[in-house]
Amino acid sequence: MPIALTESMTSALDAEGTPLRIVDPRTNDAYVLISESVFDRMRSCLLGDGDVGDKAVAALIHENMAEEDAGDPLLASYQTPGT
């Protein structure tokens, strides 16, 4: 059942982009709003039910970790030699 975004949610989405973090005030549980196309791509990778192979998954992980690794001054200290 699709739920329409409120005006404040669409404003936040326009300002922040995705992923947009949403908190349920009743439970304080946090949710992440991403586009359906990103969700489908992630689902295929995680469940292995798409045409995404191991190499493609590795490339996605590498792509997403590269920026974080670049700013980590301790990266070399916890990497295994030869990797």
Tens of pLDDT along the chain (83 residues)? 888 988 988 888 888 777 788 899 999 999 888 888 888 877 877 776 656 667 777 777 777 777 667 777 777 777 776 55
| Domain membership flag for residue 35 | yes
68, HSE (Cβ side, Cα atoms, 13 Å) = 5
| Domain membership flag for residue 83 | no
| Domain membership flag for residue 32 | yes
Pairwise CA distance, residues 40 & 51, whole Å: 12
| Domain membership flag for residue 76 | no
Domain that holds residue 52: 9-70
H helix intervals, the chain: 7-16, 36-47, 54-70, 75-78
Per the structure, the count of domains in the chain is 1
| Domain membership flag for residue 27 | yes
| Domain membership flag for residue 45 | yes
Q: Is the pTM of this model over 0.85?
A: no
| Domain membership flag for residue 82 | no
Q: Which token pair is 78?
A: 């916890």
